[in-house]
Structure 1
Amino acid sequence: MSTPLKGRIRHSVCAWPYESIPLETFCKGAKEIGLEAIDLLYPHQFETAKQFDLTCAMVASVSDEWNITRGWNRVEHHDDLITYYQYLVDETAKAGFPSVVCFSGNREGLDDEQGIENCAKGLQRLLPYAEKKKVNIVMELLNSKVDHPDYQCDHTHWGVSLSKKIGSERFSLLYDIYHMQVMEGDIIRTIRDNHTYFSHYHTGGAPGRNEINESQELYYPAIMKAIFDTGYKGFVAQEFIPTRTDKLSSLKEAVLICDI
């Protein structure tokens, strides 16, 4: 029996912090909490989610070759990335899911303007295919201060500048609240000012990326209200790392905190 939620926020959860739980058990637990979706699944996992009437709100793209550190900001990667992402777009479209995550890659001495230029060149080659298949390509904002040293898409301004340069309705940003609290703070104002470029949100407690309760500094009910007030109709996915033995109890607590 699903938990009755208010319906103002559409709830999802990232799969990777719960990898110790068999996927079927996790899907069942997520459904019982009242979630509609799971983030960061791979194509071979889609069918399991569908068995529980769950969508994958954001399809994973990290592989042995392509990951957070090796991404679209290097032109020498573009040909292979396009082949890989066309496969992901095909699988995502076939499943009826909306979006695939992507990453800028690390700077490795590349200045911000050149990074934007390079990402735009590659993504503008991919996006006509994504547009045809009606799949969104969504770049995640991550912190380079603590978790992902040297990552290039580490500030809202950089991501928004890339979005403006690309100019496709199928390209947008994943605003990770935890990561941007580490880099910038000023979360609610940033959401109000830039929400048209954000198509997806992730949560996490700051500092530490653990539970989003009173153990950390962010007040998620106010952040969720700010997101809701923008007219947002997409998903908010929990991406904290549970500290409790009963990880699903932490997940349920987080969903209820965000269920404004």
Structure 2
Amino acid sequence: MPRFAANLSMMYTEHAFPDRFAAAAHDGFEAVEYLFPYEYTPEELKARLDAAGLTQVLFNTQPGDWANGERGIASLPGREDEFRRSIDQALAYARVLGNRKLHVMAGIVASPELRAAQRETYLKNLAFAAQAAQAEGVTILIEPINPRDMPGYLLNRQDDAHAICKEIGAPNLQVQFDCYHCQIVEGDLSVKLERDMSGIGHIQIAGVPGRNEPDRGELNYPWLFERIDALGYTGWIGCEYRPRTTASAGLGWIRPYMPAR
């Protein structure tokens, strides 16, 4: 039976961020994820988690200057010191929150001729992050993201992500499999899941093409959930989608999978 985590960066946006924890718990979620926690202290977030009885399963390291278009700094030459500080910061949050998985965003390729240099920087930084996180019992995740939503992003394909993980060889470096991104770039999700499941550390879902609830669109999610279960995945599945109206109103699809209340 799949276990679902509400993504509080996309869901429950009708509430102020600190109030989204209680809203998710009220709807039956037992876990949450989100993009970036850094506007709040880890103690503030931990208090919200505990009050709602929730498990924190995932967040991202600092992305750089998000407002000005940066989407991660791991592949940006010359930003290595900043990247290392971001790993230290994320691990400090993870200790307080009990979070065991961190997504490291790769960044935007500045120009085609710089791709090779950025990939080299990316691998070096990921190796550092994995080593630092291993001592904390934390897994580092990398995620292929589709170029329609994030033009120029360094990492787009599942096979490339798994090749990077194998090249680095760290036991706590895995791939974040977002069904929405994979469908847009590659399709053939069930084959990709079967091929790569041993290296997948987290799964996320959304309807395609609208990135709304996973109850309409190109993907047959009930069938995919059966395949994910059959392949032995026992981790959380992040609901990283934008509700068509409110999060609560759009949860009819999840009721068969929710624990009895």
For this structure pair, what is the TM-score category when the shorter chain's length is used for normalisation?
Answer: 0.7 to 0.9
The residue that corresponds to 2:249 in the other structure is: 249
Q: Percent identity?
A: 20
- For the 8 Å contact 2:59–2:103, the answer to whether it is kept is yes
Residue 60 of structure 1: CA displacement? 3.0
The residue that corresponds to 2:141 in the other structure is: 138
Q: Are 1:218 and 2:211 counterparts? A: no
Q: Are 1:65 and 2:62 counterparts? A: no
Residue 52 of structure 1: CA displacement? 0.9
SS in 2 for 1:190: helix
Q: Are 1:118 and 2:121 counterparts? A: yes
Tell me how far apart the structure 1 counterparts of residues 113 and 95 of structure 2 sit (CA, whole Å). Answer: 33
Instruction: Write out per-residue CA displacement over residues 60-115 of structure 1, whole angstroms, 9 at most, x where no aligned residue.
Output: 33455368634211231222111111111122023221111111111222566544
Tell me how far apart the structure 2 counterparts of residues 224 and 68 of structure 1 sit (CA, whole Å). Answer: 33
Superposition TM-score, scaled by structure 1 size? 0.87
- For the 8 Å contact 1:58–1:99, the answer to whether it is kept is yes
Tell me how far apart the structure 2 counterparts of residues 168 and 68 of structure 1 sit (CA, whole Å). Answer: 26
Tell me how far apart the structure 2 counterparts of residues 104 and 254 of structure 1 sit (CA, whole Å). Answer: 32
Residue 140 of structure 1: CA displacement? 1.9
Instruction: Write out per-residue CA displacement over residues 222-241 of structure 1, whole angstroms, 9 at most, x where no aligned residue.
Output: 11111111111110011111
TM alignment of 1:71-86, pairs within 5 A: 71-86=73-88
SS in 1 for 2:4: strand
Q: How many residues align?
A: 249
Picking from 21, 27, 38, the partner of 1:27 is: 21
Instruction: Write out per-residue CA displacement over residues 195-216 of structure 1, whole angstroms, 9 at most, x where no aligned residue.
Output: 11111111111011112113x1
- For the 8 Å contact 1:68–1:103, the answer to whether it is kept is no
Q: Extract unaligned runs of 5+ from structure 2.
A: none
Tell me how far apart the structure 1 counterparts of residues 176 and 242 of structure 2 sit (CA, whole Å). Answer: 18
Residue 47 of structure 1: CA displacement? 2.4
Instruction: Write out per-residue CA displacement over residues 34-65 of structure 1, whole angstroms, 9 at most, x where no aligned residue.
Output: 22211115135332122111111102334553
Superposition TM-score, scaled by structure 2 size? 0.87
